[in-house]
Chains A and B, each alone.
Chain A
């Protein structure tokens, strides 16, 4: 693993300080704090840039893949939306991120056929309908610097490689950052999080309802933990979500998803893999309450991956995982806020040769942080987090990070 801190720091400073310079704006001593509109508001351009620098994470608690630490990265994104008419828009988001390069993050067409706006159809690489956090995966929407475990922590499950027996799976406990199994791809790769917040799926989504009660249904080629652009197993995912907001201060949502998880290459790797559905299934509840200067959010997600039962000792049932977090933010004036999040990720038990164990090591995280708003679209955050894990070489890790972000 390479650590190029000086280069990262230089890039971070350049991105955050240089962002207002887009389009020559800095030369004019102006900072945009709203999207830039062209053609009478029919074309909109919005952007964000963030630079995060944190302490070294030897336990890989905060990694989003083998090389990307969410506490040490620079990210910039541009969103372009074209609205040729009131009922039609085309939207694309391009992101540049440390080590990931420049990637098209989202691209889809949005159709709103009814005058009253109670129905929207989105097709392309679309935002996930499940839960809430994946849709607020922008630095300014996250009061802290780390992500919830369910949306970031790399488990030892992989869609393109599976263990032949329970012992091989147990051997990878706490090793989600680099997993290797004998069936399917033989290359060591990171496992997947329960829900991938950093990548979106491809398909069609229909949203209906009013802000008080609305629902959405999506049909996509990947799954929550493994979103795709092209289908890899001839299976699709169906995901749905309903949100009830009885009063402005309170919202409660429920989500569910089921989709084919294991890739075709795994299913054809051995002739003795039984026919069946090897799905990811998830059910989630989320809530948000706010009053005065307080904002409270929480999510609970129960998830399972079904792997093919192969050799003894067999992995018979689905691999279960439950994650939940509670997050609070309090504003202490126009510039300052403080926030905290408590987080758990727990796994189900399987039977190996040496006894019963959770199939991956349970993890817990507590993060505290503060934010200082320099101006409308310029925020600096600092946070400290403690991670605990009951497996792997590093069982506990205390990390600190600072983040500067700019958006318009």
Chain B
């Protein structure tokens, strides 16, 4: 499975910067708020997170079934007034069965993420991402450490002990994003009328962009995507 390259992370952060620039321009907030929702079809993108196969292993590693990993749908350009964020927000990324849960966490700038260890073994959460580089060291079951994310961008998270553990944290400078549910559904609510570019991010890459318009009367606009 190929993962994000630094230039894609930079592009993502750049996109979020553009959001800030565009926020004060074309998008008004005079009409009724509405919802943009839809289905992201991920059926052909199952991922198997296997431990690094090593001939030195003394026994059979646990088989990990293929899984569907969520996508994130977000606005490339956000409406004015989208940047009043809750700086005290908290989120959690568990370490359970040698897996980060959830695999994708989408948060706003200023959010503090807790990383509790719920496994019997040690974990060592770290990231080398430019958006936020950190190393929490080794800690055991029942303990938790936290990191505050102060810049928008993509943060890829790893465990130094378990090579198959990885996850993504997407840090947004606005609140117009949604992580897909297990069936691929998403909904971005309280959207002011206007025309927006929707981006679909999946496993380190922006897979598709599309312009979607919400009428002045508000309501619900459907926007579906197929990721192959």
Contacts and interface: CB of A to CB of B under 8 A. Distances in A.
Contact of B122 (A28, A129, A290): A290
Contacts of A92: 55
16 contacts: A31-B5, A35-B52, A44-B53, A46-B53, A79-B54, A79-B55, A91-B53, A117-B62, A120-B58, A247-B140, A248-B121, A249-B140, A293-B135, A293-B137, A334-B127, A376-B158
A112 interface: yes
Contacts of A112: 59-60
B226 interface: no
Contacts of A80: 53
A375 interface: yes
A284 interface: no
Interface in B37-54: 46, 48-54
A3 to B, nearest CB: 31
A25 interface: yes
B149 interface: no
Contacts of B57: 127
Instruction: Give the 9 A-B residue pairs with the shortest CB-CB distance, closest first.
Output: A41-B48, A106-B55, A120-B59, A112-B60, A135-B56, A334-B135, A93-B55, A81-B53, A30-B2
Contacts of A33: 3, 166
A81 B137 CA distance: 31
Nearest to B64: A41
Nearest to B132: A334
Interface in A158-181: none
Interface residues of B, number: 45
Contacts of B228: none
B138 interface: yes
Nearest to A292: B137
B55 A117 contact: no
Nearest to B140: A248
Interface in A227-250: 247-249
Contacts of A117: 59-60, 62
Given A25-B2, A28-B2, A34 B164 contact: yes
A40 B66 contact: yes
A373 B58 contact: no
B138 A293 contact: yes
Contact of A41 (B2, B5, B66, B120): B66
Contact of A291 (B53, B59, B138): B138
Contacts of B48: 37, 40-41
B146 interface: no
A402 to B, nearest CB: 21
Given A106-B56, A117-B60, A249-B138, 8 more contacts: A30-B2, A31-B3, A36-B1, A37-B48, A40-B46, A46-B53, A216-B58, A291-B138
A331 B63 CA distance: 30
A383 to B, nearest CB: 20
A137 interface: yes
Nearest to A243: B58
A50 to B, nearest CB: 15
Contacts of B5: 29-31
Contact of A334 (B1, B133, B166): B133
Interface in A106-127: 106, 108, 110, 112, 117, 120, 127
A66 interface: no
B50 A135 contact: no
Contacts, number: 131
Interface of B: 1-3, 5, 7, 46, 48-60, 62-66, 120-122, 124, 126-128, 133-135, 137-141, 156, 158, 160, 163-164, 166
Contacts of B122: 248-249, 290
A32 interface: yes
Given A106-B55, A112-B60, A248-B121, A334 B126 contact: yes
B138 A34 contact: no
Contacts of A32: 1-3
A214 B63 CA distance: 20
Interface in A123-154: 127, 129, 134-138
Most buried by A among B3, B64, B127: B3
Interface string A292-305: 11010000000000
Contacts of A134: 56
Contacts of A46: 52-54
Interface string A1-45: 000000000000000000000000100111111111100110011
A29 B164 CA distance: 21
Contacts of A136: 56
Contacts of B50: 34-35, 37, 41, 44
A209 to B, nearest CB: 9
A79 B52 CA distance: 9
Contacts of B164: 34
Nearest to B129: A334
Contact of A375 (B2, B128, B141): B128
Contacts of A108: 55
A29 B7 contact: yes
A333 interface: yes
Contact of A105 (B55, B65, B127, B134): B55
| A108, A211, A248, A408 interface centre (most CB from chain B within 10 Å) | A248
A75 interface: no
Contacts of A205: 58
B140 to A, nearest CB: 5
A407 B52 CA distance: 10
